[in-house]
A and B are shown apart, each in its own frame.
Chain A
């Protein structure tokens, strides 16, 4: 691949910002205000004047549109805005990809990747209501009591466990690692709430095969990341997290209705992985720490396999609680607590945590991180994944 057609190292995340993370319904700020606060926090972290922002990227039909944001912030120029279409939070890394692409193309200089979500103000993902008729794809599922996010992805996990004979131990370990990491993270909604194996095993079914602790949280909050050119990043106060690679990932008919994706037993990362590593110039063995989007733990198992970080054969041995911990594990996972225990900010918090690991600023810092991977949205029609690194990782 020619360097002219490669994101590798051309841009960097130079600032990250998050609001307080709330349990759903507990934010007193409107969703739009949460987004503005996250953007200001990211600018302060970056040492960049908010007026320098000239582009916005988001995903999942974020309600807080760039023209309104630019208006509120008083931006002199809005040169670029972008929405990535997917279901769920599969676009978190795609927003970074699109920001990096826009900057690399010269379309903008300072781009914000952001997501605001106030489930208390706009309806919960884990709850469905209404009485009006449904049509289209939902007509083939909703009248059968299949309507929540957990229900939309449970049967992929059932089939995965059936075909590969792995799952429960790994799923439990993933949940425990997330809660373990949240205990050192003061931002985490589940800070102060520990999870042991007995509690996991005794927790109620949401929908078999998912127990309560297999499922992400529902929260209010916002997160933002500032991306700019790498040469500029070198002059800013924080250690730049270079965007080594980022990809979107949808497969053959992955958006087919009524569960008709051609490859059903997948986290949706098979198409992206080869492009991601090739672009980033690294291999799975180079990944020092992983943030892997947990809508549901079963999807994480598939994601890690499809990113080449373990195999169908050894997943049960690799994905143990001891191994997934920042303190001593070989495959440190979701070191902020992730969507299960820090906050479900539709996965952007996981991208933020990858940046913190590259900077050396995490609450659960893994020693000597050079390369960090953060993915988004397993099992959705289009997922996305990104690799960040230090200057040293560029070689």
Chain B
């Protein structure tokens, strides 16, 4: 069972919506089901992120959506302090991580690193997904957040 929370890390920001042309509908349906789905080419099997209508490696247009282990390692990070949106006023610093997914050809995903906002961040540290449910969204949606994987 993948981990989840119903507590929003950054409440009040604009919510994600599937692309109107349908490109990433399976991804957002997957997060609602607490599964991490990404594109993989049915021809050459390369994983691809962000989603696109064509495989960048072999130009096949036959792309599958596959569930992958919701784990990765920190590739880079930043800690915003300056509030750039009214919902972030007085929120204080938070952490954005860029996570590399070795089990999926090193594709990268952006999310927040949960926990102490002033924690020391180590590039290469293993992280795992916490699905952040926003059932009160319009419609409801689920974000992909990250926490440092505990040693145990």
- Contact check, B17 vs A135: say whether CB atoms are below 8 A apart: yes
Closest 10 CB pairs of A and B: A257-B50, A133-B17, A139-B16, A154-B78, A155-B76, A207-B80, A159-B76, A208-B79, A205-B81, A148-B84
- How far does the alpha carbon of A206 sit from the alpha carbon of B94 in the complex, in Å? 12
Chain A 260-311 interface residues, beta-carbon cutoff 8 Å to B: 260, 264
Q: How far is the CA of A253 from the CA of B56 in the complex (A)?
A: 8
Closest-by-CB residue of B relative to A158 is: B76
- Chain B residue numbers with a CB within 8 Å of A130 are 14
Chain B residues with Cβ under 8 A from A209's Cβ?
Answer: 78
Query: In residues 41-68 of chain B, which contact A (Cβ within 8 Å)?
Result: 49-50, 56
The answer to whether the Cβ of B19 comes within 8 Å of any Cβ in the partner chain is yes
Q: Is A140 an interface residue (CB 8 A)?
A: yes
Is the Cβ of B78 less than 8 Å from the Cβ of A128? no
Known: A128-B84, A140-B110. A134 touches B16 (CB 8 A): yes
Minimum Cβ distance to chain B for residue A353 (Å): 28
- A140 to B80 Cα, complex, angstroms: 17
Q: Which of B15, B20, B78 has most chain A Cβ within 10 Å? A: B78
Contact pick for B110, options A128, A144, A148, CB 8 Å? A144
Judge whether A142 is part of the interface by a CB distance below 8 angstroms. yes
For residue A256, CB closer than 8 A to chain B, the reply is yes
A260 and B50 form a contact (CB under 8 A): yes
Which residues on A sit within 8 Å (CB–CB) of B108?
258-260, 264
Contacts of B88-109 to chain A: CB distance below 8 A: 88, 93-94, 96, 98, 107-109
> How distant is A299 from chain B, measured CB to nearest CB, in Å?
14
Among B10, B75, B88, the one with the most A-chain Cβ atoms within 10 Å of its Cβ is: B75
Q: For B112, give its contact among A144, A156, A158, A259 (CB under 8 Å).
A: A144
The reply on B127 being an interface residue by CB < 8 A is no
Contacts of A155 in B (CB 8 A): 76-78, 96, 98
**Does chain A have a CB within 8 A of B143?**
yes
Q: Please give, as numbers and ranges, the residues of chain A lying within 8 Å of B14 by CB-CB distance.
A: 130-134, 142-143
Total number of residue pairs linking A and B with CB closer than 8 Å: 131
The 8 Å CB contact of A256, one of B13, B19, B50, B76, is: B50
**In this assembly, does A204 line the interface, its C-beta being within 8 Å of a C-beta of chain B?**
yes
| B133 interface hit (Cβ, 8 Å) | no
A-B contact pairs, 7 of them (CB 8 A): A131-B14, A144-B10, A151-B78, A155-B98, A205-B82, A207-B78, A258-B109
A sample of 17 more A-B contacts (CB under 8 A), given A137-B50, A144-B96, A155-B76, is: A131-B14, A134-B16, A135-B18, A139-B16, A139-B19, A140-B110, A143-B15, A144-B13, A145-B10, A145-B112, A146-B110, A151-B80, A158-B123, A258-B110, A260-B49, A260-B107, A264-B76
The number of residues on chain A lying at the interface, defined by a beta carbon within 8 Å of a beta carbon of chain B, is: 43
Near B by CB (< 8 A), chain A positions 33-59 give: none
Binding site for A on B (CB under 8 A): 10, 13-20, 24, 49-50, 56, 75-82, 84-86, 88, 93-94, 96, 98, 107-112, 123, 143, 145
**In the assembled complex, A121 has its CB within 8 A of some CB on chain B:** no
Task: Report B93 CB to chain A, min CB distance, Å.
Answer: 8
Q: A156 CA to B75 CA in the complex, in Å? A: 10
Q: How far is the CB of B109 from chain A (nearest CB, A)?
A: 6
State A36–B55 Cα separation when bound (angstroms).
45
Residues on A with C-beta less than 8 A from B107 are 260
Closest residue of A by beta carbon distance from B75? A159
Instruction: Name the distance in Å between B30's Cβ and chain A's nearest Cβ.
Output: 13
Contact between A135 and B110, CB atoms less than 8 A apart:
no
Tell me the complex Cα distance, A154–B110, Å: 13
A208 proximity list for chain B (CB < 8 A): 78-81
Assess the A135–B76 pair: CB atoms within 8 A: no
A151 contact set on B, CB distance < 8 A: 78, 80, 84, 96
A395 at the interface (CB under 8 A from B): no
Task: Give complex CA distance A136, B112 in Å.
Answer: 19
Q: Which residues of B contact A127 (CB under 8 A)?
A: 84-85
Quote the shortest CB–CB distance from A262 to chain B (angstroms).
9
A205 and B79 contact, CB distance less than 8 A: yes
Minimal beta-carbon separation of B99 from chain A (angstroms): 10
Our pick among B17, B85, B123, B145 for the contact of A128 (Cβ within 8 Å) is B85
Alpha-carbon separation in the docked complex, A135 to B143 (Å):
13
CB of A63 closer than 8 Å to a CB of B = no
For residue A162, CB closer than 8 A to chain B, the reply is yes
CB distance from A389 to the nearest CB of B (A): 38
Interface residues of A in 100-120 (CB under 8 A from B): none
- In angstroms, Cα B123 to Cα A148, docked, is 23
- Asked whether A147 lies within 8 Å of B96 as measured between CB atoms, the reply is no
